[in-house]
Amino acid sequence: MKKVMLAVGLLVMTGSAFAAAKPCEELKSEIDAKIQAKGATSYSLEIVEKGSAGDKQVVGTCEAGSKEIVYARN
């Protein structure tokens, strides 16, 4: 039973590691589609280095957490 629980735990951690390594352009286009689906028209999305978002809202992280996607209204 302990081996099964260990295996499940490792699979969960591995799955989240793969999800965190998503390419930035792919994630940016997914976020863009969701924002447009809600009817927003005047906004911008930018890919920036982690920690340099300034006053913009962080809406996603990509490339294993080294970059962030930020949202700003125009």
**pLDDT tens digits, one per residue of 12-68:** 554 445 554 689 999 999 999 999 999 999 999 999 999 999 999 999 999 999 999
Instruction: Give the other-Cβ count within 10 Å of 60's Cβ.
Output: 17
In a domain, 43, yes or no: yes
pLDDT at 3: 44
In a domain, 69, yes or no: yes
Q: Which residue has the higher pLDDT, 26 or 1?
A: 26
In a domain, 9, yes or no: no
pLDDT at 70: 97
Burial of 32 (0-12, 13-18, 19+ CB in 10 A): middle
**Domain hosting residue 56, numbered range:** 21-73
pLDDT at 22: 85
